[in-house]
Structure 1
Amino acid sequence: MQKPTRIAPSILSADFAKLGEEIKAIDAAGADYIHIDVMDGHFVPNITIGPDVVKAIKPYSKKVFDVHLMIQPVDLYIEAFAAAGADIITAHVEAGPHIHRTLQVIKAQGVKAGVSLNPSTPESTLDYLYEELDLILVMSVNPGFGGQSFISSQLRKLEAIRKRIDSLGLDIDLEVDGGVNAETARQVVSAGADLLVAGSATFKGGPEKYAENIKALRG
């Protein structure tokens, strides 16, 4: 069953010069999760942050730290991100040779496990993983940079995954990331998403606009 819509602002769009204050501001503005995009310049064409930064910002919010690892190989770094304060760790199907093993490594750290699908990754890759998952992240842009345009073909993927989650009767968050704004938020929620990652749409206008922006995304 689809859950109420929750918003996970991506700190990729925050002011990195005052990251702690930005996280406090989105927490106070009504964010449900704090979404942290980790990129390695190898799996995706950008480099962002490592576990030391996650550890440094953890005290600024008690909200769920939703850590999205866009790195390859991924298994070697899971323990460090869990120790740094991740509550959920999400890895891509393509980030290692054995995604099922990766999920086992994540769960062994005592945190929730997620899988992410790139725009061209079919939902069939989840067929033997559903029972291991706490979260499924559908990328509605190609990962690597914020501010990209929404890829509408991912609505069909969201619909198919939502149908499968419900048919199995499982408690899995269905998250979407990429080009999410007040307009596309309605589309992805209608398609079955219940956790929306939004960077640019949350942080535009500065801290005085964060609550208004989050409310617009929630619909």
Structure 2
Amino acid sequence: MERLICPSMMCADFSSLKEEVKALDEAGTDIFHIDFMDGVYVPNFGMGLQDFEFIRKATNKLVDVHLMIQNPAEYVEKFADMGADIIYFHPETDLHPARTLDKIRSKGKKAGIAINPGTAIETISELLPLVDYIMVMTVNPGFAGQPYLAYVEPKIEKLVQLQKDYHYEVMVDGAISPAVIERLSKIGVKGFVLGTSALFGKEKSYQEIIPELKGAL
């Protein structure tokens, strides 16, 4: 089964963003991952609308957006119209998450939920028939460079097991190292959002790193 490599563009070199996107694209990136934060749901600010618009225009690959914000439904149409292929949000930030998932799909986009390390599967079980992707956070959301939280892995395994009853794919995001990729791919995880633990800020080029990571799958 093909696995997806998804660079977290928050970790890219913004002094040469055009070159970064081109190099990542040519190296075999599957999905460009863009974090959007409001400074309320998480105590930080991520990338801006202009960053999203630039990356969307610079590649024909899939682009997702991870909404770490309150009231994400208010932004679904904006990001859908700007060209997001997949829209993730955290269900606890939305009074009517099922309606927001339907809104994403009604725009012809893939609907995803992001679940935090402390979020139990039981709290989102009613949404499982409605999602295309579940992105499990393996760090607490809002900051790059945090340590990987291995205690989340049983939850990942359970979500993979539940796939037989639904139609979603399991993704992971947060301090994903090559060793974690190898381990979780054996469990059945589909996609890996990658930052500084495996992809950015390395001596090797993206053209070397991404094929190696895909080879580890």
TM-score of the aligned structures, taking structure 2 as reference length: 0.93
Q: Quick one: structure 1 residues 50 and 80, their matched pair in 2 at CA, closer, same or farther if it must change by over 3 Å?
A: farther
What 5-or-longer segments of structure 2 have no aligned partner? none
Provide the C-alpha distance between the structure 2 equivalents of 1:52 and 1:104, rounded to a whole number of angstroms: 26
Question: Paired residue for 1:165?
Answer: 163
Q: Is the 8 A contact 2:129 2:167 kept in 1?
A: no
Q: Which residue of 136, 148, 153 corresponds with 1:155?
A: 153
State how far apart, in whole Å, the 2-side matches of 1:52 and 1:110 are: 22
1:104, distance to aligned residue in structure 2 (A): 1.4
How many residues of Structure 1 are paired with residues of Structure 2 in the alignment?
214
Aligned counterparts of 1:145 and 1:178: Cα–Cα separation in 2: 9
Shift, 1:32, TM fit: 0.9
Query: Cα offset for 1:16?
Result: 1.5
Match of 1:106 in 2: 104
> Which residue identity does 1:10 align to in structure 2?
S
Q: What is the alpha-carbon distance in structure 1 between the residues aligned to residue 146 and residue 64 of structure 2?
A: 20
Task: Render the CA deviation track for 1:35-91: whole Å, top value 9, x for unaligned.
Answer: 111111111121022333212221211111011111112111111111111000000
Q: Deviations over 1:136-177 (max 9, x none)?
A: 0000000111121110011101100011012x1x33221000
Q: How does 1:74-89 map to 2 (within 5 A)?
A: 74-89=72-87
Where do 4+ consecutive residues of structure 1 move more than 6 Å? none
Greater Cα offset, 183-192 or 134-143? 183-192
Matches within 5 A, 1:1-219: 3-166=1-164, 168=165, 170-200=166-196, 201-205=198-202, 209-218=205-214, 219=216
Distance in 2, matches of 1:188 and 1:46, equals 28
Structure 1 length as normaliser, TM-score?
0.92
Aligned partners of 2:37 and 2:142 also within 8 Å: yes
How large is the RMSD of aligned CA atoms in angstroms?
Answer: 1.4
Looking at structure 2, the residues matched to 8 and 117 of structure 1 have their Cα atoms a distance apart, in angstroms, of 17
